[in-house]
Amino acid sequence: MKKKDTMVRYTLVPDTEDGNVSSNCLSKCPKLSFSKSKIIVFVVILAIALGIILLTVSQSNTWIFTKNMTDCLVDGTCKSGKPRGRISGKHHSKLDKSQYKKRLPQVLVIGARKAGTRALLRFLNLHDGIEVARHESHFFDRNFDNGYDWYKEQMPESLPGQITLEKTPNYFVDLNVPKRVYTFNSSIKLMLILRNPVDRALSDYLQLKLREKDPNKVPPFEHYVIDPVSGEINKSYSPLKRSLYCKHLERWLEYFNLSQILFIDGEKIRVRPWEEMHHVENFLGLDHQINKSQFVFNATKGFYCMKVAKPNFPWKTRERCLSPAKGRVHPEIDLDVEKKLEDYFRPCNNKLFEMIGRRYDW
Ligand code: A3P
């Protein structure tokens, strides 16, 4: 068969003004010709284009409605910059973007520094009912004079019914903060994650060391925690002072009831994060959304990471871990020094356990 025979000829027939087909158009109008194969290619391209459009539209809905399946959860804002909302649609079945606005926090993670506060925040952000502030605002300790409007500006956008949450671990140890927080909202909910005070102090030391220009020149932990003259504990070393949990908590309890504070175990959040998050959901009066299936143990890092959806392929997941600054390898501590530190912290630990009616494994 000749190629010409395979051609299908189409004639474009423009309508007349009154809507009728012009009878003499056939002879005058330009003719467009397509081969069958060109039509197939055209249809395929059209289908692909339609598919892409549909995918894009559904993706943008996914971003809004399925927060915990997107990349949004990791840093507190979506990569696309789109606002986020609840999955359940219980309160927001018809999502009105105008309802998104910045709100002052109803919950604070007050500390303790280096006890797992970032992990707690990231895991909290898995829940649709929570929007977390991406950065530590340091409002109640350093920026209080900026006022509540400034503070609100630091918060993420949220929907009515969602909880806005901020974490600044320094709040726990700053003398001014409890009173300021109480004045701000006396019924606020507080969360405090605690970790073995010796481990926390060592982690604090590592953090400070790595901030130095030449970390390799920084003396070992033992140099700081033991007074070289007396051989006793150097009580003035900040990482040790920050681990005296009972002292700091005492100041908070001058203003807040114990029932307003949730104590989270930094060790448990490391090894079974979904269990600790279950307590957090209870404390915040939220439905249980965070579960084991959202975590994956990363053997290289030695910590749990989160499973999140790939940005453009919400049906596929990938691992999202905390930054390398979280979960550093700790150097071995001299055994005598470690024992001294344990003895030093023990009375305060016991006092803390009495105060909160719960024991930690340290
Ligand atoms: P180390 O780096 O000393 O191990 P913060 O976020 O308050 O600074 O706390 C940091 C600590 O979080 C880390 O201290 C690490 O032990 C702990 N952590 C708990 N769960 C983690 C996780 N899934 N990934 C990384 N670090 C985690």
Task: List, for the chain, all residue ranges whose pLDDT scores fall below the cut of 70.
Answer: 1-34, 53-96
Q: How far is the CA of 58 from the centre of ligand 1 (A)?
A: 35
Distance, CA of 9 to chain centre: 60
State how beta strands 261-265 and 295-298 pair.
Answer: unpaired
Distances (CA, A) of 209 to 217, 239, 341, 351: 9, 12, 19, 30
Q: Find out whether the beta carbon of 203 lies less than 6 Å from any atom of ligand 1.
A: yes
Q: What is the DSSP string of 127-165?
A: STTEEE-SS---TTTTSGGGHHHHHHHTSPEE-TTPEEE
Position 144 scores a pLDDT of: 98
Report helix, strand or coil for 262. Answer: strand
Give residues with Cβ within 8 angstroms of 240, minimum separation 6. 201, 225, 233, 234, 341, 344
Position 43 scores a pLDDT of: 83
Position 76 scores a pLDDT of: 33
Position 91 scores a pLDDT of: 42
Mutate to test the pocket of ligand 1, among 126, 195, 326 (most ligand atoms within 8 A of CB): 326
Atom 20 in ligand 1: residue holding the nearest Cα: 270
Q: pLDDT above 70 covers what percent of the chain? A: 78
The total number of residues written for the chain in this structure: 362
Distances (CA, A) of 206 to 95, 222, 271: 45, 12, 21
Q: What is the dihedral of CA 116, 107, 83, 308, to 10 degrees?
A: 30
Mutate to test the pocket of ligand 1, among 74, 110, 114 (most ligand atoms within 8 A of CB): 114
Position 50 scores a pLDDT of: 80
Amino acid at 21: V
Q: How far is the CA of 79 from the centre of ligand 1 (A)?
A: 24
Q: Which two tokens stand for residue 298?
A: 């990363």
Q: Find out whether the beta carbon of 70 lies less than 6 Å from any atom of ligand 1.
A: no
pTM over 0.95: no
d(CA 121, CA 131): 10
Q: Find out whether the beta carbon of 118 lies less than 6 Å from any atom of ligand 1.
A: yes
β-bridge partners, 277: none
Position 15 scores a pLDDT of: 35
Give which of 177, 176, 60 is closest to 108, Cα–Cα.
177
d(CA 172, CA 241): 12
